[in-house]
């Protein structure tokens, strides 16, 4: 018999709550197979089986709080013969008192050593969600070299490993299925668990943009509000401290049937509003790395706003609504649009991001200034 105990899972935690058992009494388990999921104040963790065997007894019930060192379940690993051997040693000790005592002490020492022996395989660092993805993709997570902090295995590592066919645990005769990563799930995970994101929000008056659009429509040019925003974003970027090169490539966060995609509109600084509007509808995936990103949707359409996260400053355009605003001491109805700029603080200084949003809003509210910049 072997007692599986709650070991020290780090983070300074001394107890954990049992969330879910992956096994039941009588189940046969393999070495390193997940047995139970526990939760501390800071994290969730899965406890694997240190050896192969059969589940004998579940000591802790779901919802119980177990302290470090206490037994969670009992595993029958087929080592009863050693216990019988210990008993035989005790009987021999009665017949030979001089040599029996050392034999009994040795047996206890060997049993304690067996309990304290760690698993033979190093446990990789990964979140429970990531381990679940690995099981679904039939990937041996122990073979993956994580790209996260301290070697943590990320969701992207699982999909990359599966896509490249590096899973040596699969039979060679098994046909390889095309792996299609869930880009929406990846975006959510990256945005909320990987990137230290900060968002700035600003309400922008697009009344003058709407007026310019009507004039252009009279001349056969139907330019979207998004095109104006993209040009304003590029113009503001070119004057900010974020500018690292002359080329300004802008990613377009687009919702597809399989999730979010980010095709890239290249060299925005050289193209007109009309070409921007055409390009954003025809843009496809590219190897070019964008410096900025914007949601590829028309704020005039009351559709859900794509909230995909990228590693570059991303502007989210919200639907345009009519609101009362005070201008020159008078109340008037204006077309207002909220713009949210999300950044990765590891790459973009918050002060620079705030300035970028402020400058972009000014150009949208006064679109003639963009014409002056293009002269």
Pairwise CA distance, residues 365 & 354, whole Å: 17
69: left (phi over 0), alpha (psi -120 to 50) or beta: left
Does one domain contain both 214 and 157? no
Assigned domain for 121 exists: no
User: Based on the domain organization, do 147 and 243 belong to the same domain?
Assistant: no
For residues 63 and 204, membership in a common domain is answered with: no
Residue 261's domain spans which residues? 188-373
DSSP labels, 106-124: HHHHHHHHHHHPPPSSPPP
Could you tell me if 218 and 286 lie in one domain?
yes
- Tell me if 59 is assigned to some domain: yes
Lowest-confidence region among 36-40, 79-83, 87-91, 196-200: 87-91
Q: Is the pLDDT score of 22 beyond 80?
A: yes
Mean pLDDT lowest among 22-26, 107-111, 193-197: 107-111
Q: What is the pLDDT of residue 97?
A: 46
pLDDT digits (tens, 9 = 90+) for 74-123: 988 877 534 433 343 444 444 444 444 444 444 444 443 334 444 444 45
Does 328 lie in the same domain as 194? yes
Do the Cβ atoms of 318 and 339 come closer than 8 Å? yes
159 and 199, same domain (yes or no) = no
Residue with more model confidence, 313 or 284? 313
Least confident of 33-47, 68-82, 102-116, 271-285: 102-116
Q: Are 18 and 54 contained in the same domain?
A: yes
My answer on whether 277 and 327 are in the same domain is: yes
What is the structure's pLDDT at 365?
94
Q: Assign 301 a pLDDT band (cuts: 50, 70, 90).
A: low
State residue 366's pLDDT score: 93
Q: Residue 361: which pLDDT band, with cuts at 50, 70 and 90?
A: very high
Token pair, residue 17, equals 């709550």
Residue 99, pLDDT score: 47
Going by pLDDT thresholds of 50, 70 and 90, the confidence category of residue 209 is: very high
Identify the pLDDT of residue 118: 41
pLDDT at 232: 93
- The domain tally of the chain equals 3
**Domain contains 114:** no
What pLDDT was estimated at residue 205? 95
Mean pLDDT, rounded, of the chain: 76
Judge if 30 and 147 occupy the same domain.
no
What secondary structure letter does DSSP report for 203? E
How much of the chain, in percent, has pLDDT values that exceed 70?
69
| Gyration radius of the chain over CA positions | 31
Reported as a single tens digit per residue, the pLDDT across 250-269 is 988 877 666 667 788 889 98
Same domain as 194, residue 343: yes
Helices 80-95, 97-116: axis angle to 10 degrees equals 160
What phi, psi does 71 have (nearest 5°)? -80, 135
Q: How many CA atoms lie within 13 A of 367 on its CB side?
A: 19
What is the spatial distance between Cα 353 and Cα 358, in angstroms, rounded to a whole number? Answer: 9
Residue of higher predicted confidence among 351 and 288: 351
Residue 160 inside a domain? The answer is: yes
**Which has the closest alpha carbon to 337: 313, 360, 369?**
360
Looking at the predicted structure, is the pLDDT value of residue 3 above 50?
Answer: yes
Task: Provide φ and ψ at 359, rounded to 5°.
Answer: -65, -40
- Please say if the pLDDT value at position 167 is more than 70: no
72 lies in the same domain as 208: no
């Amino acid at each position: 018999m072997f007692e599986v105990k709650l070991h020290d899972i780090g983070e300074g935690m001394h107890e954990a709550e049992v969330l879910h058992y992956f096994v039941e009494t009588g189940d046969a388990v393999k070495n390193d197979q997940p047995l139970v999921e526990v939760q501390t104040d800071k994290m969730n963790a899965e406890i694997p089986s240190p050896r192969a065997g059969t589940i004998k007894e579940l000591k802790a019930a779901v919802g119980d709080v177990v302290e470090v060192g206490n037994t969670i379940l009992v595993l029958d690993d087929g080592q009863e013969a050693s216990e019988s051997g210990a008993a035989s040693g005790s009987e021999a000790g009665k017949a030979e008192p001089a040599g029996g005592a050392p034999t009994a002490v040795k047996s206890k020492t060997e049993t304690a050593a067996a309990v304290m022996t760690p698993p033979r395989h190093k446990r990789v660092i990964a979140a429970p969600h990531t381990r679940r993805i690995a099981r679904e993709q039939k990937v041996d997570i122990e073979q993956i070299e994580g790209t996260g902090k301290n070697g943590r295995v990320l969701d992207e590592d699982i999909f990359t490993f599966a896509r490249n066919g590096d899973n040596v645990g699969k039979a060679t005769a098994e046909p390889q299925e095309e792996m299609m990563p869930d880009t929406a799930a990846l975006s959510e995970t990256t945005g909320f668990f990987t990137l230290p994101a900060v968002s700035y929000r600003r309400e922008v008056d697009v009344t003058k943009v709407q007026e310019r659009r009507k004039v252009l429509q009279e001349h056969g040019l139907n330019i979207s509000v998004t095109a104006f925003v993209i040009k304003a974003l590029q113009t503001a970027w070119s004057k900010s401290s974020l500018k690292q090169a002359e080329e300004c490539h802008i990613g377009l966060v687009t919702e597809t049937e399989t999730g979010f995609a980010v095709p890239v509109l290249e060299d925005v600084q050289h193209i007109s509003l009309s070409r921007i509007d055409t390009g954003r509808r025809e843009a496809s995936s590219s190897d070019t790395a964008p410096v900025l990103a914007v949601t590829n949707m028309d704020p005039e359409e009351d559709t859900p706003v794509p909230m995909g996260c990228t590693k570059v400053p991303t502007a989210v355009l919200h639907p345009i609504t009519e609101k009362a605003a005070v201008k020159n001491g008078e109340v008037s109805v204006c077309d207002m649009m909220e713009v949210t700029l999300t950044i990765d603080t590891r790459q973009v200084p918050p002060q620079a991001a705030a300035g970028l949003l402020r400058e972009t809003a000014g150009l949208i509210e006064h679109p003639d200034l963009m014409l002056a910049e293009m002269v």
